[in-house]
Chain A
Amino acid sequence: MTEILSAAVIVGILTSAIRLATPYLFASIGEAFAQTSGVLNLGVDGIMLMGAFSAFYVTLHTGNVWLGALAAMAVGLLMGLLMSLISVTFKAEQGISGIGLYMFGLGLSSLLFKVLVGTVYTISGFPVVKIPFLSQIPYIGQIFFQHSLPVYAAFLLVPLAWWLLDKTTWGLKIKSVGQNPAAADSLGVNVDRVRYFSVCLGAVLAGLAGASLSTALVNLFQENLTAGLGFIAVALVYFGGWRPLGILTGALLFSVVNAFQLWLQVLGVNIQSDVAVMLPYLLTIAVLAFSMNRVRQPAALNKPFERGEN
């Protein structure tokens, strides 16, 4: 059997991890925008399912993955507007409305799949694009530069989100609305509008997270395709302390351990499969318990804003 620490295996683990991290990055970065503005959206998984189905369905019928991605974004936007309407305008309890949104997405995507598609098909999704020159670098090239476009996009999103949140006035508005909406309001920031915007942006990214699954990584749709992935994405936002870089670290850590346990099994290392599949979750819990950085939590997270109340 191959050595577990050989170069080929390490490259294999890291390549898998980059792929596995992709949907988490889209969804978690999106959720970070929503939460930074003070809205906890637990419906990510439902939006992902709707995005995954739309992207799959449009690609299946048009053969165009870009139209598929566009459809996923549009559906994500609609779901985001719905979430904002309920939690920002109607000021419903965010945790509960998010769960409602999740169940709505799960049920509707299953129903549409059953009525419009019926059975499982595989499609040809985003092809692998090898970056010229960079993909030729030994080891590094294979790990980082031989993926499909959504994978690159997910990783490029990290610096982009950091820049938006930390370096622009617009990011400052989102943060101020999430920290102290009353103060932001008194300075002329339209709290509801900023929250609508952040939740919708997050939902569009969640839609793309779904599309990255159904049209780049798995290339098919099945009922409950995400299998709860969106909830891990929400946890990763806490894990990452609401910072894009922290989220990237969390997503990579989780994915590396997941890829590692798959390789452990493939290489016939004598470990119970039940133990192996627990590893990523155990690690996440351990890291969360020891490194939870609550200082950065948006002070107004989960609190609807009512002018003049506080």
Chain B
Amino acid sequence: MRTRALFIVGLIIVMLATACGGQQQAPAGGGEAAKPFRIAVVMPSATTDMAFSQSMWSALKAVQAEMGGETALELKYSENMFKVPDAAAAIRDYASQGFNIVIAHGSQYGASVEEIAKDFPNTTFAWGTDVNTFGLPNVYAYTAAAEQGGYVNGVMAAMLTKSKLIGVTGPIEVGDAKTYIDGFVQGVAAVDPSITVSKTWTGSFSDVALMTEAAKTHIAAGADVLTGSSQSVVGSIGAAKEAGNVLWFGTQQDQASLAPELVVASQVYDWTALIKQMIANYKDGKLGGITYVLELKNDGLKIAFNPNFPLPADVKAAAEKAIADIKSGAITVNP
């Protein structure tokens, strides 16, 4: 009996502890001599996840390079902050250390931001993906209209599939994972309503093994084009690569480097414009109160065509027409 009790207690401890396995980079005190602009970011997964967190981190690094390196813009991050209380502690830490902008990069951090932002009226907070600034003058909310790029990817996918069967491997049916796929389905239907798009959800953002098997299942069922989102889709891309004749459409980050021969295009989240606007506003004394939406129109969303993939000219033309139509409002994609 003791064994069983211990075993169960052990399992519970581990389940509680699983999320805090990642390492946290503690913020260090800045130098006195130069006074760089300081931005800190708290992220749910790793800066190298080829998806959501990496998209924000790459944007910050790009802005830093543009502004002239670490002397002009100091960056700090805490990654793998899947547990909200840990993330909240990190957000408060950064704010107390006098960072100018603190970004809480996860829709689960909303309540923490709402609470902490009131205590630091001179710090800008940004969080997403969401649209709610809580009516606070120092909070930005940001989100991505993922359905727009999904639509464009869907148009291309519909023109490239030969088996008329397209597979989607998603994590959990929420947030931009869902809106991306909703847009994708609309894009496919706009080209050819007879194409079947079948979807699987693995119930996890991180279970790569199950995601791989989900992709293999789609391929076994006859799908020749796949797409999906979350950091675990690297498994799906691996499965497509193994099959050899299956194409992939990416989202959140340019995924072409994972399989240059079969990634057709990726929707890329480009947060640089948001970051630059926040910095400029901060210097002008405006700390927030704005909801920012990444769209094709404001170049926050981009379609990165893989230069190594021989995309037929008519498909590329159709994709570019879809992009133009979404920008002009001729096509509305419902999230």
Contact = CB atoms under 8 A, between A and B. Distances in A.
Contacts of A95: 6-7, 9-10
A225 B201 CA distance: 18
Given A12-B220, A122-B258, A228-B18, A220 B234 contact: yes
Contacts of A229: 209
Given A12-B221, A99-B17, A268-B198, A220 B10 contact: no
Contacts of A42: 7, 10, 14
Contacts of B210: 227, 258, 262
A230 B217 CA distance: 23
A265 B199 contact: yes
Contacts of A256: none
A96 B196 CA distance: 50
Contacts of B206: 222, 224, 227
A162 B13 CA distance: 32
A212 to B, nearest CB: 10
Interface in B164-188: 167, 173
A122 B259 CA distance: 8
A106 B21 contact: yes
B217 A120 contact: no
A231 B217 contact: no
Nearest to B45: A223
A266 interface: yes
A231 B231 contact: no
Interface string A206-222: 00000001000111101
Majority DSSP secondary structure for residues of B touching A: helix
Interface stretch (B85-93, B236-244, B265-273, B287-295): B236-244
Contacts of B14: 42, 99, 102, 231
Interface string B64-91: 0000000000000000100000000000
Contact of B221 (A2, A222, A223, A301): A2
Interface stretch (A107-115, A166-174, A191-199): A107-115
Given A120-B50, A218-B208, A225-B208, A111 B23 contact: yes
Interface residues of B, number: 52
A179 interface: no
B38 to A, nearest CB: 23
A119 B213 contact: no
B217 A273 contact: no
Interface string B144-181: 00000000000000000000000100000100000000
A121 B217 contact: no
A122 B234 contact: yes
A25 to B, nearest CB: 14
Given A16-B217, A98-B10, A218-B238, A110 B208 contact: no
Interface string A221-249: 01111111101000000100000000000
Nearest to B201: A273
B51 to A, nearest CB: 9
Interface string A254-269: 0000110011011110
B9 A122 contact: no
A19 B221 CA distance: 17
A80 interface: no
A94 B9 CA distance: 12
Interface string B25-46: 0000000000000000000001
A217 B212 contact: yes
A107 B21 contact: yes
A3 interface: no
B229 to A, nearest CB: 14
B320 interface: no
A281 to B, nearest CB: 10
Contacts of B231: 222
A135 interface: no
A195 to B, nearest CB: 16
A44 to B, nearest CB: 11
Contacts of A107: 21-23
A227 B242 CA distance: 22
Nearest to A23: B209
A36 interface: no
Contact of A119 (B3, B50, B204, B209): B50
A219 to B, nearest CB: 5
Contacts of A258: 210, 213
A262 B234 contact: no
A19 B239 CA distance: 13
A63 interface: no
A12 B214 CA distance: 11
A227 B203 contact: no
B105 interface: no
A20 B202 CA distance: 14
* Best-surrounded residue of B9, B202, B218 (most CB of chain A within 10 A): B202
Contact of B200 (A19, A110, A266): A266
A222 B80 CA distance: 13
Contacts of B325: none
B209 A218 contact: yes
Nearest to B205: A227
B10 A99 contact: yes
8 contacts: A9-B221, A15-B220, A213-B209, A220-B208, A220-B238, A227-B208, A227-B210, A278-B203
Given A217-B212, A266-B218, 15 more contacts: A16-B216, A40-B3, A99-B17, A107-B23, A120-B48, A122-B258, A217-B209, A223-B48, A227-B209, A258-B210, A262-B200, A262-B217, A268-B196, A273-B201, A274-B203
